[in-house]
Amino acid sequence: MAPKREQKKRLGKKHRSATTRPKQGKAPRTGAQIAGVAPKKRKEISAKSTAKKAAARTPKKSPEFEHKVTLQQNEEDRYIVGRPKKFRLGGAGSSHAEREQRELEKVADEIALAANAGRTPDRLPLVAICGRPNVGKSTLFNRLTGTRRSIVGDEPGITRDRIYGEVEWAGRNVRLVDTGGVVPDDEALIPSEIFRQAKVGLEEADAIIMVIDGRTEITSPDIELARLLQRGGKPLFLAVNKMDTAQLEAGAENFRTLGFKEVMPISAEHNSNIGDLLDAVWAALPPEFVAEEPEENQEGEDDEFDEDSYGPQSLPGAQEPDEDDEEAPRERKLRSHGEHVLRETKVAIIGRPNVGKSTLLNALTGTERAIVSPIAGTTRDAVDEVVERDGHSFRFIDTAGIRRKGKTTEMAEKLSVIMSRKHLEDADVALLIIDATEGVTALDANIGGYAHESGRSVIILVNKWDAVTKVGPDGLTLYDGKPPADRKAYEEQVRHALKYLDYAPLIFISALEELNVEEVFKKTQLVARERRKRISTGNMNRFLDSVDFQRASVPMNKRVKIYYMTQAAVAPPTFVLFTDRDVKLHFSYERFLANEVRDAFKFIGSPIWFKVKARNKKKKEKE
């Protein structure tokens, strides 16, 4: 990261507009804004202000389509989405146009879906730069990130892949993705590759900058790309590039016909109006990125508890740095300047000998869509295998270790525990394998216990399912004459034996016959995302208001009053409870609360950790 001053100089501040200037230093006080208001009223206000913000981000109605803003109760978080009506592109009727139409609608629907998908606000906000070839995307990207990674050239389609970088602006960091461009096969039609690229980058993006060449006329690919983006319901900005002089800048208004609310003339090459563009983008980012920003000078501020002051700003210690966030250093590393990164999930395959670990690894790395590359692991002689699929990387930890065989049974068993624990250290997600032909043994339970305590996300895989379900010639019994296993009853048994892993998804697989292996990838990606989910303090306290603690079966003297709670860390999600007493939470109270949190926010596959802080602890320490 370039020093702050140097970066400011690079980005310039020509033509800075007062309306888009951010409030330096302080984040908008989403939680505290509603302080001092009675709890009932507080809920209403917060819902209204969220809806207002979302409405501001939704493109205006246009004759072709219409956005209806609806407050959706997403399964993972509450989110506002724009629901576009179907529209038809001009020229429909011929079969080619219809095909094109269908393809566009499919992609647009996917983008709309992605906009509604679960968010992981523990990451930096991601801003995508897209546009047709040669409009200056790479020049803008390089201007913002200060790197030369994105190649600039006169030939259209020179950026062949997505490139990620980071920019610091007004004291905050934003991640950028240059979605790239590809030579169109046919200038008259939108090259489908642009859509493919755009789609991948946009799925993750929190805001989008579409770049257009202000020195050329609007082309039909521009129009169609604009329409496609507008269907996604994300904050959109049109950067009219190559406006190198004030005279040219006036012409940017002509591009309003594309239907963008925010149209900004810029010159990426001459560094003009770039600061304004960033200000506007930053102001439009979803609230969770703003709400979670640590407040400066918080240490030592007023320690008095005020019943009506919700939110991080009034919460002594609530926004302390994430000491427990073990993911943070690696995440930061991944976000280094201009680095071309894919999101990566580290996966440990764990289990006792002979359950099918190496067979599963072979099945996972051998799938048709997997691109596998062996990479040196974190320990000296370890080799990790990285599988890239659908834009996501799965790093299987120490595959040499998984394939290593023990000598005697006893030794192999001991080794399996040691290896499992070692693999857990480096992992995000653990795949705990159970042998269906044997059920959960004491050793399985032992290894599962380590997985639970490690704070990693866990997926239970009941392997060799083929061996207990494939019936023989009579069509009724297995080859050995036994009755085939009943899935529901089997799951109950496993759940009973591994009670503490009740949050872990369970999949029946056959590594040998590659049954349900696809599902393993899907679930791994899901739980990896869930463990990094962050709930805003405002939402957390609304949740707390709704919990009926009377239902917790905990002795009266073990109950503590929780004034408020906040998520202090991700991976695993860790909550700090501000209580009336500095005592360890009673086991059943903790379990009750974890279940309530899970009901509200899911956190599929991840354990939930709690920390207790007595509200006056700091004060006592000072005295």
Provide the binding-site residues for ligand GTP, judged by CB under 6 A.
131, 133-139, 152-154, 156-159, 180-181, 241-242, 244, 267-270, 351, 353-359, 405-406, 412, 416, 463-464, 466-467, 510-512
Closer to ligand GTP at the Cβ: 276 or 295? 276
Is 182 assigned to a binding site?
A: yes
Q: Residue 501 is encoded by which pair of tokens?
A: 């892993």
Q: What is the DSSP string of 475-490?
A: SSSBTTSPPPPPHHHH
Closer to ligand GTP at the Cβ: 479 or 587? 479
Is 135 assigned to a binding site?
A: yes
> Cβ of residue 365: shortest distance to ligand GTP, in angstroms?
13
Is 351 assigned to a binding site?
A: yes
Closer to ligand GTP at the Cβ: 237 or 589? 237
Is 356 assigned to a binding site?
A: yes
Closer to ligand GTP at the Cβ: 30 or 142? 142
> Cβ of residue 222: shortest distance to ligand GTP, in angstroms?
12
Kindly give the residue spans of alpha helices, DSSP state H, lying in 243-373.
Answer: 246-249, 274-284, 287-291, 328-334, 357-365
> Cβ of residue 244: shortest distance to ligand GTP, in angstroms?
5
Is 159 assigned to a binding site?
A: no
> Cβ of residue 262: shortest distance to ligand GTP, in angstroms?
18
> Cβ of residue 187: shortest distance to ligand GTP, in angstroms?
14
Q: Specify which residues 239 forms β-bridges with.
A: 211, 264
Query: How many C-alpha atoms does 360 have within 13 Å on its Cβ side?
Result: 33
The dihedral sign for the CA sequence 114, 116, 117, 123: positive
Q: Residue 438 is encoded by which pair of tokens?
A: 């044997």
Is 134 assigned to a binding site?
A: yes
Q: Round to whole Å and give the CA distance between 400 and 383.
A: 6
Question: What is the phi/psi pair of residue 534, to 5°?
Answer: -125, 130
Closer to ligand GTP at the Cβ: 20 or 416? 416
Closer to ligand GTP at the Cβ: 162 or 227? 162
Q: Residue 44 is encoded by which pair of tokens?
A: 């209403």
Give the Cβ contact number of residue 272 at 10 Å.
20
Q: Round to whole Å and give the CA distance between 49 and 52.
A: 5
What secondary structure letter does DSSP report for 119? Answer: P
Answer for the pair 177, 162: CB distance below 8 angstroms, yes or no: yes
Closer to ligand GTP at the Cβ: 4 or 215? 215
Closer to ligand GTP at the Cβ: 420 or 537? 420
**342-355: string of b/e by CB count within 10 Å (b at 16+)?**
ebbbbbbbbbbbbb
Is 400 assigned to a binding site?
A: yes
H/E stretch holding 457 reads strand 457-463
Kindly give the residue spans of alpha helices, DSSP state H, lying in 132-191.
Answer: 137-145
Is 454 assigned to a binding site?
A: no
Answer for the pair 459, 605: CB distance below 8 angstroms, yes or no: yes
Closer to ligand GTP at the Cβ: 164 or 310? 164
> Cβ of residue 395: shortest distance to ligand GTP, in angstroms?
18
> Cβ of residue 479: shortest distance to ligand GTP, in angstroms?
11
Question: What is the phi/psi pair of residue 70, to 5°?
Answer: -125, 145
Is 474 assigned to a binding site?
A: no
Place of tokens 């949740």: 543
Is 181 assigned to a binding site?
A: yes
> Cβ of residue 183: shortest distance to ligand GTP, in angstroms?
8
Chain position whose Cβ is nearest to ligand GTP: 181
Q: Round to whole Å and give the CA distance between 595 and 154.
A: 58
Q: Round to whole Å and give the CA distance between 534 and 10.
A: 33
Give the Cβ contact number of residue 68 at 10 Å.
11
> Cβ of residue 374: shortest distance to ligand GTP, in angstroms?
18
Is 464 assigned to a binding site?
A: yes
Is 211 assigned to a binding site?
A: no
The binding site for GTP comprises 131-138, 178-182, 241-244, 351-358, 398-402, 463-466
Annotated binding-site residues read: 131-138, 178-182, 241-244, 351-358, 398-402, 463-466
